[in-house]
Structure 1
Amino acid sequence: MFDMMKMMGKVKEVQEKMKEAQLALSQIEVQGESGAGLVKATVNGQKKVIKVDIDDSLVNTADKDIVQDLIVAAINKAMEEADVLAKEHMQKETQGIMPNIPGFDLGNMFNG
């Protein structure tokens, strides 16, 4: 027979494991580069840009730190907005298919 309490316990367990996995992703760092290393970007496993490094030959060195910080902020802001829109889209598309269980967010499963 179907045991609702047992299922809710499993749901809570899955949520906790998902939180642990998300935290672990924040510790992963990957660097990409373009222009033969003139521009480098460091991203964590949660797809957040941590750092952008631009070679001095490409920008006025007095403005370099500000430009790099502004680039990081703009990219992360755009990615956060994309995440919000993706969650809204998934909720709309799965409405009526997935049960609405308070506190159970499947959005993290779809966003990597």
Structure 2
Amino acid sequence: MDLMGMMGKLKETQQKIEDTKKRLDTVLIDEQSNDGLLKVTVTANRTVKSITIEDSLLEDKDQLEDYLILVLNKAIEKASNVNQAELDAVAKMDMPMIPGMDQLFK
């Protein structure tokens, strides 16, 4: 087993993961309520970029709060799926299969 080669490969993979995380900052995911009154945009790294609220929602605090929770959670779930798929692809593509290594990327 070539330990030095594996260590080099690991370092290379870690760099690719960092690069992928940076790129995911530029991947935008839009989500909105069913009626379109509330819209949010998040990055694939789950950072909220924008929230747009129609004026009619401002009259009902409870409804607005419900909308925010629902729409933000849907957007974050989509972002998490994209994030995980991208990082898994990088890790699997470059990593030699070593028992227990998959735990490093959790």
Per the alignment, residue 41 of structure 1 pairs with 40
Instruction: Considering Cα pairs closer than 8 Å and 6+ residues apart, tell me whether 1 or 2 has the greater RCO.
Output: 2
Counterpart residue identity of residue 55, structure 1: E
Q: TM-score with structure 2 length normalisation?
A: 0.56
* Count of aligned positions: 76
Per the alignment, residue 52 of structure 2 pairs with 53
Of all paired residues, the percent bearing the same amino acid is 31
Q: Deviations over 1:40-85 (max 9, x none)?
A: 011111133322221111115xx9xxx89xx69xx69xx7xxx9xx
- Rounded to whole Å, the distance in 2 between the matches of 1:47 and 1:105 is 21
RMSD (Å) for aligned C-alpha atoms: 3.1
Higher helix fraction (1 or 2) = 2
Counterpart residue identity of residue 39, structure 2: K
Gaps of 5+ in 1: 84-96, 108-112
Per the alignment, residue 19 of structure 1 pairs with 18
Secondary structure of 2:45's match?
coil
Alignment of 1:1-112 (within 5 A): 2-60=1-59, 98=100, 105-107=104-106
Where has structure 1 moved over 3 Å in runs of 4 or more? none
